[in-house]
Amino acid sequence: MKFRGPLIALTVFMVVALALTWLVYATLRRDVSGGTTSYSAIFSDAYGLRESDDVRMAGVRVGRVEKIELVNNNQAKVD
């Protein structure tokens, strides 16, 4: 009977750890519901920007560069 207290504490710890692990897994694997939205922007200087580069807001990946094309002979249109 000496081990009953530590055994209960270990069991509670394991249940909480498994629940938190499942919660993190479920959060990271969830799909984005709904469609996506595409944006275009015109830049006077797109030096260093490449197709398939990540688009980030506040350090969080929110998209990627699909296409870069020259417009008006001196501007880059980025999709």
Q: How far apart are CA 63 and CA 71, in angstroms?
A: 22
| CB distance 48 to 38 below 8 Å | no
Whose tokens are 């000496």? That residue is 2
pLDDT digits (tens, 9 = 90+) for 19-78: 999 999 888 876 666 677 889 999 999 899 999 999 899 988 888 999 999 998 889 999
Q: Which residue has the tokens 């909480």?
A: 16
pTM of the model: 0.52
